[in-house]
Amino acid sequence: MPKWSPWVLLALILILIFGPQLLPGPDREKIGFAEFITQVQSGKVDEVKLNNTTLGITGKFTDGSEFTTTAPLGFPNENDRTMFTEKNVDFQPTTPQSNWFMNLIPLLLPFFLIFGLLMWMNRRASGQMGNVMSIGRSRAKAYTTDRPSTTFADVAGYEGVKTEIKEVVDFLRMPERFKEIGARVPKGILLVGPPGTGKTLFARAVAGEAGVGFLSVTGSDFMEMFVGVGASRVRDLFQQARKMGRAIIFIDEIDSIGRKRGAGLGGGHDDREQTLNQMLAEMDGFETSEGIVIMAATNRPDILDPALLRPGRFDRQIVVPLPEFEERLAILKVHSRDKRMGPDVDLEIMAKGTPGMSGADLANLVNEAALFAVRRGSSQIERIDFESARDRIMMGARRDSLILSAEEKRTTAYHEGGHAVLAAVLPNGDPLHKVTILPRGMALGVTQTLPEERHSYSRDYIEDRICMALGGRVAEQVVFGQQTTGAANDLEVVTGLARRMVREWGMSDKVGPMAWHGQQQVFLGEDLMTGGREYSDDTARTMDEEINRILRVQEQRAIELLNKHRAGLDLVASALLEHETIDGAEVGRLVQQGLGEPTPRADATSLTD
């Protein structure tokens, strides 16, 4: 029975009860009883109808108009009847029969209410029981061959990744070709890469290219407060895929259920491990001939259980890295297709100036540029909007409400000037883009460099980064003879770089070619049995000494360079106090002017040239 049926029944009952009373009656004049008797005696009344139950009188005058009145108790007596006869009045007394339905309603209404209450309680109990009984069903979203409509054409760049995945598409389209030659397509494909690189988009594109069913689920969908629910949902997920014939199962964020078993502080027998055990069993339980391919995505492959990654389960791992220049350019073009772009926008320059950004970051960059254009009241996105959007993403939002005192502003100018001068003169650092003393994000000022496309870092490059990062603190010491708290973040960065040089990259002659990573995460439990450290106290002391030596050497180097370029530092600080923001080319020119000879990075250019 539909849910709206009781309401319709109740409305019908109300209409039957109150409908006749609400209907408009004939137009009758209401008069008093005395006037009614006077009109009868005058011979002006032609017809009278009396309701013996309510003593209501309705009648008609000789001119055709109607009237109504109410009679007193005892009406009509013998005199009244004689008067009606003498005046030729058609007197019609009636006694209406009682409505049995109306008399029955008061008796049946409590039963209707009790019956309705019982039905409501039964439906609530059935719904809750149904939810409990269906709690073990998979929460995967099933898409038909029409959805998703995403194809490889919608994925910009990543030709190498597309080639790797194309075998899966060909197998799902034409499995006979693989059967004839005896080739076995991987059962599972694991997409590995940083967040925002488009791993989920690749899975949808594979389903769209192959034209098969697509089941999408996240790792957290298997987790529930009830024990055994995760394993039940895994079983139901694979049953759904088998019913679809050829299908793709996509598990996003598989690391939430695929962590290493038997690790951590909580023991090894929990529902997450049982869910993983069931998934391993299901992946072993079907053959590639069934036409089911499992795809999963994660940005933490290091914490996955080895049994999940062995051949026969996730046979192939495909790395989806951060996009290179050509790929960033293609991604920017895709996200700019439906935007109104100005003639001065050069996406190639923006692609060169955004190394390290993922596809999601680039999409956000284009959207932020559009928002800046709307904020300016412009009808199209211009180059200045992209510049503002990139500054917001890389350096943080500008804090107009923060007002620095004259002394703080001068200190900040020399602090950022120290970074900028060293970035301009150091031979192996990144090119300087711009420097500003306008508060952005949590910083009072920002010196922005544009990292070049690098896949490995030399020792000289890292040392120049440390020296440049120490430039702000050193400039304060050289100019004012004291340090401020503004260098706190710089010290964290340089200490981390120096520690990795010594402990991980083998860039210390005293420690030698040895590597010790930091402690593993507690939930993995890999450090609990080893005591948490793989080296002796003497080695730890040596590493601390080497880290301190590297930082001291680069600090002394920064002091020497800033003393050498003190005139250029003063010029840069004065320009910052006057203009608040200057670009890299201007810094190079000021350093060259202060030194009186060309600097190694004087020809550095920036996107604002």
Residue located via tokens 């987790």 = 223
Cβ atoms within 10 Å of 256's Cβ, excluding its own: 18
Question: In what side-by-side order are the strands of the sheet with 188-192?
Answer: 141-143, 213-218, 247-252, 292-298, 188-192, 314-319
Out of 282, 382, 416, 463, the active site residue is: 416
Q: How far apart are CA 175 and CA 293, in angstroms?
A: 12
CA nearest to 584, candidates 492, 450, 473, 479: 450
Active site residue 586: no
Cβ atoms of 484 and 475 closer than 8 Å: no
DSSP string, 59-72: EEETTS-EEEEEPP
- Strand, helix or coil at 235? helix
Tokens of 433: 């883009």
Q: How far apart are CA 299 and CA 85, in angstroms?
A: 106
Q: What are phi and psi of 88, to 5 degrees?
A: 55, 40
Q: How far apart are CA 549 and CA 73, in angstroms?
A: 119
Q: Which residues of 106-136 are buried (b: 16+ CB within 10 A; e: fewer)?
A: eeeeeeeeeeeeeeeeeeeeeeeeeeeeeeb
The length of the chain, given as a count of residues: 609
Active site amino acids: 416
